[in-house]
Amino acid sequence: MTTVSTIGISTTGPEPAAAILSPAEAGAAIRSLADADKVALLKVARLYAKKTPYDHEDLLQEAICRVLSCKRAWPRDLAPLPFLWGVVRSIAWEWRKETPDAPPDLGDPEGEERRAIASLDVAKIIALFDDDPAAQIIVRGMMEGARGQELQDLSGLDKTDYESKRTKIRRRVEKLWA
């Protein structure tokens, strides 16, 4: 940043940092991740990889590669975990196995197969919580896209119980998909 004083002398201050991280900075940030964050990203990748034809390692590798190749800009003020989560998610969305919403089409046996598999996966997860109706309601709500207070209201639980259920749900699903 250059400023001109009233007596006409230019002074040069520190240049403002770029809004996005350079590849080197991104690499440093990734290498500096704490163990907990590495675990979190692997788990997130596992969750999303279920919706793709690839495994979670491929998904995570592609995400990091895109970041390091500047194909995904990393805003300087965005923390690594949320940012990398977003990248993983978007790649999973890009790679996702489409599940057709339309009614079965006799001319599309592949689509029908995907639909059947997706239904099975959903049913399997719902069945995981047959012993816990409240958790099952929350899972159904999550699948429908409900979040936050809406989801808690749906469950009819107080905050503590609701948080406890969410943790239980997460652990069970992670175990199923590990």
Enumerate residues 79-118 that contact other proteins by CB under 8 A.
79-83, 85-87, 89-90, 92-93, 95-96, 99, 101, 118
Pick between residue 9 and residue 40 the one whose CB is nearest to other proteins: 40
Number of shown-chain residues binding other proteins (CB under 8 A): 90
Which of 108, 113, 144, 161 lies at the binding interface for other proteins (CB under 8 A)? 144
Pick between residue 4 and residue 102 the one whose CB is nearest to other proteins: 102
144-175 core/surface letters (b: 16 or more CB in 10 A; e: else): eebeeeebbebbebeeeebeebbeebeebbee
Query: If you ran DSSP here, which 8-state letter would residue 22 be given?
Result: -
Q: How far is the CB of 44 from other proteins (least distance, A)?
A: 5
Binding flag, residue 120, other proteins (CB under 8 A): no
- Contact between residue 91 and residue 62 where contact means Cβ atoms under 8 Å apart: yes
Binding to other proteins, residues 46-65 (CB under 8 A): 47-48, 50-51, 53-54, 57-58, 60-65
Which residues are bridge partners to 20 per DSSP? Answer: 75
Which of 4, 5, 16, 31 lies at the binding interface for other proteins (CB under 8 A)? 31
Q: Please list, in sequence order, all residues whose beta carbon lies within 8 angstroms of the beta carbon of residue 9, skipping any fewer than 6 positions away.
A: none
Is 68 exposed, middle or buried, given 0-12, 13-18 or 19+ CB atoms closer than 10 A? Answer: middle
Binding to other proteins, residues 145-174 (CB under 8 A): 145, 147-149, 151-152, 159, 162-163, 166-167, 169-171, 173-174
Measured CA to CA, the distance from residue 94 to residue 177 in angstroms comes to: 20
